[in-house]
Amino acid sequence: MYRVLIVEDDPQIAKINANDLRASGFEVAGIAPNAAKAMELLESSPIQLLLLDLYLPGGSGLELLRTVRGGSRQLDVIVVSAAKDSAQIREAFRMGCIDYIIKPFTNERLALALSRYEQKMKLLRKDFLSQNEVDLLSSHRIKEESDPYRQKGIDQKTLQMILSLVSGKTHSFSVAEITQETQMSRVSVKKYLDYLCDEKVLLQTYVYGNKGRPSNLYRLLSKKQLSQINREREAPRDRFT
What distances in angstroms separate CA 143 from CA 71, 126, 165, 211, 232, one per listed residue? 38, 25, 30, 41, 22
CB 162 within 8 Å of CB 196: yes
Name the range with the highest mean pLDDT among 45-54, 66-75, 198-207.
45-54
Give me the pLDDT at residue 140, please. Answer: 42
- pLDDT class of 233 with cuts at 50, 70, 90: low
| C-alpha span between 191 and 24 (Å, rounded) | 17
- Distance (Å, whole) CA 1 – CA 225: 45
Amino acid 209: pLDDT = 64
Q: Do residues 95 and 65 touch, judged by C-beta distance below 8 A?
A: yes
Strand pairing category for 202-207 and 215-220: antiparallel
pLDDT band, residue 56 (cuts 50/70/90):
very high
Distance of CA 57 to the CA centre of its chain: 26
* CB-CB neighbours of 99 under 10 Å: 20
Which residues have CB under 8 Å from 16's CB, separation 6+?
A: 107, 212, 213
Domains and CATH numbers, the chain: 3-124 (3.40.50.2300), 148-234 (1.10.10.10)
What's the confidence (pLDDT) of residue 1? 84
**Phi/psi of residue 52, each to 5°?**
-115, 125
Instruction: Determine what percent of the chain is predicted with pLDDT higher than 70.
Output: 83
Residue 224: per-residue pLDDT: 60
Q: Is 70 helix (H, G, I), strand (E, B) or coil?
A: helix
